[in-house]
Amino acid sequence: MHLSTHTWMRPEPLELTLKRATSLGYKSIELAGEPNRYSVNETAALLSKYNLTCWGAVTLMYGSRNLAAVDQAQRDNTISYMKNVVDLAAGLRGEIVTLVPCTVGKLQPSASSSDEWDWVVNGVREVALHASEKGIRIAIEPLNRFETYLITNTSQALQLVDTVNMPNVGVTFDTFHLNMEEPDLLAAIRMCGNKIFDVHLGDNNRLAPGDGSLDWPRIVKTLREVGYHGALAFESMPPIDRTPRGAFGSSQMKPEPWDVDPGTLQFLKDHASGVLREDYYSGMLARTAETILPLIE
């Protein structure tokens, strides 16, 4: 196993992300799934400069992106978007794409459960077929019940994996989401077994590992027991303290206005966050490295 980091939690130049990551002992990145944001050639050159690799990418499901949409054109556009994310990962010699099937923050279905299930199965299968041609594995990520209504735990994710029935489809195990939804986090890891294709790191409170109550030595030990040897990708997104105690958010967030595209900004706000201060964000990555690296080195 090795330590990785996502790039979506703080909008900033990619070179700053990579420079910070390599200085703290990270070995790879999991790119935000925005293919238009990254030039493959330029990104590859930066990765080489900082001696990092691209582990993969994650779909960012905001706006109209939704495999369970009633509108066929909307589903088709979502599939096309996901294929482009696969192409981005493949172009950078990545291994996985984490796929969230539905729009984050959408908490009610728009059609019958059976119809939505069929649309998601068909959409994931089409993306996975494309990914198989590129040498990319697709990892379905369950989100907690406050961020989605469809695929919220490992049993549901594994049922989707089984129904899609392709060898390059597995599960992303996100410790933050699943500590909320699983009665036994370690048992859930064992149940997923070799179908864990990616792991996202956040403590029970979505702070950095070590700043909450999760038992990281036991989690890493159990991942090792089931044969997982991929990335452990930092993905903490702290709640913002907007009270006087937190200086009304200024101890964590940059002052507004923020120079961020509307889609990304809405995605951050939907996570009850904003554009984090660089020193605060760097501290979370350092805390994660401090907690996780001794367990995997």
CA–CA distances in Å: residue 151 to residues 181, 243, 292: 11, 34, 27
Q: How far apart are alpha carbons 262 and 177 in whole angstroms?
A: 25
Q: What does the pLDDT read at residue 272? A: 78
Q: How far apart are alpha carbons 136 and 89 in whole angstroms?
A: 8
Distance of CA 161 to the CA centre of its chain: 18
At which residue do the structure tokens 């700053």 appear?
A: 16
Q: How far apart are alpha carbons 247 and 219 in whole angstroms?
A: 35
At which residue do the structure tokens 């409170």 appear?
A: 205
Q: How far apart are alpha carbons 77 and 174 in whole angstroms?
A: 26
Q: Under a CB-based contact definition with an 8 Å cutoff, are residues 288 and 3 in contact?
A: yes
Q: What is the dihedral of CA 246, 252, 257, 263, to 10 degrees?
A: -120
pLDDT along the chain (297 residues), means of 10: 97 97 98 96 98 98 97 98 98 98 96 98 98 98 96 98 98 98 98 98 97 98 98 94 94 91 86 91 98 97
